[in-house]
A and B are shown apart, each in its own frame.
Chain A
């Protein structure tokens, strides 16, 4: 039974039809020029995000729920992710206007972004494992193509190939996990799977455990959890920088949506000591990401490692979910913040790469004078990533670490997460500060101001307003994140 008025269905139809039509137009249209397709994609995404916003404001979405009889549920959890993903998709689209100028087949490029964003949005709304997997593939496959979009560039090809290889592997692993889950519970509906898990006899438990491990590995690949992160720096570095923005800020967050829907709930039902496992992965992930980032000389690669580090921070909130009221809320808030901060950082870098064709950190000396707005946007994003007040990253990190300390009253290891997080944030300031220093405090080869791409400027202005605005007045978004937290008590009372 499909409810044609529900948010995910209408979003799919809106974005899907536009995504299909764009390449058709390009066939019919003889003249070249990419701006038309970008404009159409932009309009579609803007109307999609306005629609989600309208649905939330008009209270058409149900409160956050994990379970539903249908394959999709129209709840605030999904809508929260939909907003975050669509913001990223919009930023990527606008940021690409300049990058795609003069490149081949722009229509396909924008169409793929739209299709991939349908996938991202649907993951967050899915309540059925098969639906989730279909959405997962819908999100992933366009990005394999996008990562290799610069087809004459060997490093872009390598990026796409590695990404595809790991994507295929992780898809296989997820499918394997789903099949085990189906095998022992007889259903693919997440609610029923979890209900089934909680009633398992001891002989079946190892299988369920294997399923959860498969999910962690499969989704962890996209999220960039250590040790499933190896492909990530190579891909982010080689892919077109605008696509790295989409990958780092968008698909990675979709991975978290899936993780929240499946792993956390499943693990709570299984009553495993999974929280501790996630905590260890969190600490390892953030430390590896930040340590490796210090040595990087290539901007996209440095940002790639930084996003691994941030996956660690976000995982803090997930790992303490059962012990602290605000754990998941903090994670969600940080997901939204990180989506904007990272997307804006990548698009700033994309702007730098396309105008000056440099990505090495030594080549951006004195950039503050040459590209003032892009540099300012990059600095604000980096400071927000480091968690400097009064920017948005500060509040979500504060909530994450606060939640970890709070959870210390239940489990003794939780405060160490906060300690690790604070130490890592300090560590991260080293390389963020390094970039800022190069841009502003070192003399460049030239001081001549270059023309900054208008589309990048637009993205920078948006993200500066967003980052500073939330930093000064975080309340509405904290409340929004709160409303998107699914009620965990439903799960725990089931067994």
Chain B
């Protein structure tokens, strides 16, 4: 089946697979040079390279659809047997297309959004670097190369989150002056960049450990090699090291995908330019973790064939996903900042994907959950990128990140209004016409049908999350577009500012994605079946994971027959009712405004307490700061004051003085007098003769 398992030469396809990730890096290198001649031209260059990379990615699709793969390797460091390579199997090919096209649209959007920023060169450099690193992750055929991309993504996110390094007040996130457990809940861009970097680094180190643990036993980093010969797994399993290694690897995904308990960086990452947020949330950073799990899950699942049970790993994945989905959705319901709401929503939706992938490994029909998770990744990439870019336009026009400063904008920004509805419906999972509905439904069905002991609690959590998702999305649209104009907007108009639609280079990209959300949504079920078929074949041929055909036959007896063939009735009814409840509540509070939400929250102590609990992020962020930042600082100061000063300074003089003394002796011998040098030279010959005689 493999088209390109050759070691020699490069077919056109293999060349394209390399080009997908190399082109963005080339762009990053070229852009500073172009900027020397014309800063404006950097826009064109960046977009052109993104387009070229996307087209290269598209050429990989026909192969993926035919369940072929390109696997091309070149020697990297042959003395230790390392090879660099690209692996474009159906999973990687689909993923790289999602990444490439969504980033391309975001690049187009950025040309409008970043207009006039004097640091545009730096912006494009890191954006291109970001996309290149992500494509490197997607197309790598081994762990080590993937890790290079992984760190590249981390570095780029650090640079872009802290892009506005002058820490102006308008670029902060959080509410100024607000305190949680005595710590400020208000962060500057530079602080947020470092926070994102360090928190994801915790995961990275775990991943590095897992990676080398496997390498120590398998002697290879290659994904294909690990699949072909599974003797390493047997040895590791016998020594009880396989599960820790797998969970450590998942630790990397937790960090990068902002899953519980490393989820807190994602909110502060909103300090970056909105185009960056869109990129982080839809295409590059957080999806990397999901991709890693999607890369590894079949590998681990297939180990069942040689009698190794990996259920614990999948349980961890499923639970982390479910908890994150729930945790972040609760907080998304109460925050007043539009980008933060979207950020919470991303974390929550990524949780869904993880949950689906985890559940896949716990069920007999691996492919169902796998497809559901990946389908949700695709649909989320579309509607979330669209929502973020639309939110960026709002910020741009209104000049405030708070939804309470917007309101009643639907008459002024008709296009943004329409597209936000379309994409928002996708996030809510509006029945039958949005991709979000079908992908979420697929996840529910996969969880429900998995037959695992944990299926029911996870299912319930997922369902409650869906209600909340619909609610906060409705709330967001209601607060921004409905009701009366806020004081802030009125003041702006008084000063002569005219609220207007965003420029075409901005609304066209999110328009396209919003339309796609609905367009693909209409044929969503067919689309899902298509992915399902691709993955069924892929998993069977690459990993030997066979799908149970009897189950498929059972599915076709579903209630509505024909149109809804293959849809689980329970899942369907659940997602329909989740949408109905969430949307209904949201409508009552924020669109119809039958009940004033603030009064409602303050009406009784129970609601007030919950609201505050959610707004304070379950106190997790504050606890992390207390535990890992404030306490160590106090401890370090204490150590310095009571230990370093008294104990170490007392005893430590010995090595310090020896070193300094040694260095001083060396210095003293260097007299500058030639006679003494010659003397040493002569003595040296004698010493050498003596040494030779030893």
What residues make up the interface of A, taking CB atoms closer than 8 Å to B?
161-162, 165-166, 169, 173, 209-210, 212-214, 216-217, 220-221, 226-228, 230-231, 233-234, 272-274, 276-277, 280-281, 288, 291-292, 294-295, 326, 395, 399, 473-475, 478-479, 482
Report B664-694 residues with CB < 8 Å from chain A CB: 664, 666-667, 669-670, 672, 674, 676-678, 680-681, 683-685, 687-689, 691-694
Main secondary structure of the interface of A (DSSP, over half): helix
Asked whether A214 and B685 contact (CB < 8 A) given A169-B678, A478-B79, the answer is yes
Asked whether A165 and B674 contact (CB < 8 A) given A212-B692, A227-B681, the answer is yes
Asked whether A209 and B681 contact (CB < 8 A) given A294-B663, A475-B77, the answer is no
B692 touching A277, Cβ below 8 Å = yes
Residue among B670, B685, B688, B694 with max Cβ neighbours from chain A (10 Å): B688
Instruction: Determine the chain A residues whose CB is within 8 A of the CB of B663 once the complex forms.
Output: 291-292, 294-295
CB within 8 A of A292: which of B79, B670, B689? B670
Instruction: Determine the chain B residues whose CB is within 8 A of the CB of A234 once the complex forms.
Output: 670, 672
A295 touching B664, Cβ below 8 Å = yes
Instruction: Determine the chain B residues whose CB is within 8 A of the CB of A295 once the complex forms.
Output: 660, 663-664, 666-667
B666 touching A291, Cβ below 8 Å = yes
In the bound assembly, the distance between CA atoms of A473 and B145 in angstroms comes to 12
Nearest chain A CB to B496 CB, angstrom units = 40
Nearest chain A CB to B674 CB, angstrom units = 6
Instruction: Determine the chain B residues whose CB is within 8 A of the CB of A226 once the complex forms.
Output: 684
A166 touching B79, Cβ below 8 Å = no
Knowing that A291-B659, A295-B667 touch, tell me 12 more A-B residue pairs with CB under 8 angstroms: A213-B689, A213-B692, A216-B688, A217-B681, A221-B681, A227-B683, A230-B677, A234-B672, A273-B694, A281-B688, A475-B75, A475-B79
Nearest chain A CB to B258 CB, angstrom units = 27
What residues make up the interface of B, taking CB atoms closer than 8 Å to A?
75-79, 659-660, 662-664, 666-667, 669-670, 672, 674, 676-678, 680-681, 683-685, 687-689, 691-694
A478 touching B77, Cβ below 8 Å = yes
In the bound assembly, the distance between CA atoms of A475 and B83 in angstroms comes to 10
Instruction: Determine the chain A residues whose CB is within 8 A of the CB of B672 once the complex forms.
Output: 234
B687 touching A227, Cβ below 8 Å = yes
A210 touching B689, Cβ below 8 Å = yes
Instruction: Determine the chain B residues whose CB is within 8 A of the CB of A482 once the complex forms.
Output: 79
Nearest chain A CB to B99 CB, angstrom units = 23
Closest 5 CB pairs of A and B: A277-B691, A292-B666, A227-B684, A230-B677, A295-B663
A217 touching B684, Cβ below 8 Å = yes
CB within 8 A of B691: which of A165, A281, A288, A473? A281
Nearest chain A CB to B144 CB, angstrom units = 11
Nearest chain A CB to B148 CB, angstrom units = 9
In the bound assembly, the distance between CA atoms of A274 and B691 in angstroms comes to 8
Instruction: Determine the chain B residues whose CB is within 8 A of the CB of A473 once the complex forms.
Output: 76-77
A217 touching B692, Cβ below 8 Å = no
Asked whether A277 and B694 contact (CB < 8 A) given A227-B687, A233-B670, the answer is yes
CB within 8 A of A217: which of B662, B664, B670, B685? B685
B76 touching A475, Cβ below 8 Å = yes
A173 touching B666, Cβ below 8 Å = no
Nearest chain B CB to A206 CB, angstrom units = 9
In the bound assembly, the distance between CA atoms of A69 and B573 in angstroms comes to 92
Asked whether A276 and B76 contact (CB < 8 A) given A227-B681, A227-B683, A288-B666, the answer is no
Closest to B75 in A: A475
- 22 CB-based A-B contacts, threshold 8 Å: A165-B678, A166-B678, A169-B678, A169-B681, A209-B692, A214-B685, A216-B688, A227-B680, A227-B684, A230-B676, A231-B674, A231-B677, A234-B670, A272-B692, A273-B692, A277-B688, A292-B666, A295-B660, A326-B79, A475-B76, A478-B77, A479-B78
Instruction: Determine the chain A residues whose CB is within 8 A of the CB of B664 once the complex forms.
Output: 295
Instruction: Determine the chain A residues whose CB is within 8 A of the CB of B659 once the complex forms.
Output: 291, 294
In the bound assembly, the distance between CA atoms of A161 and B675 in angstroms comes to 13
Closest to B677 in A: A230
A230 touching B680, Cβ below 8 Å = yes
In the bound assembly, the distance between CA atoms of A209 and B667 in angstroms comes to 33
A228 touching B667, Cβ below 8 Å = no
A213 touching B688, Cβ below 8 Å = yes
Instruction: Determine the chain A residues whose CB is within 8 A of the CB of B78 once the complex forms.
Output: 475, 478-479
Instruction: Determine the chain B residues whose CB is within 8 A of the CB of A291 once the complex forms.
Output: 659, 662-663, 666
Nearest chain B CB to A210 CB, angstrom units = 7
A217 touching B77, Cβ below 8 Å = no
Nearest chain B CB to A448 CB, angstrom units = 20
Asked whether A213 and B681 contact (CB < 8 A) given A272-B692, A295-B666, the answer is no
Instruction: Determine the chain A residues whose CB is within 8 A of the CB of B77 once the complex forms.
Output: 395, 473-475, 478
CB within 8 A of A173: which of B667, B685, B689? B685
B76 touching A228, Cβ below 8 Å = no
Nearest chain A CB to B679 CB, angstrom units = 9
Nearest chain A CB to B190 CB, angstrom units = 16
In the bound assembly, the distance between CA atoms of A140 and B676 in angstroms comes to 23
Closest to A215 in B: B688
Instruction: Determine the chain A residues whose CB is within 8 A of the CB of B693 once the complex forms.
Output: 209
Nearest chain A CB to B183 CB, angstrom units = 28
CB within 8 A of B684: which of A228, A277, A475? A228
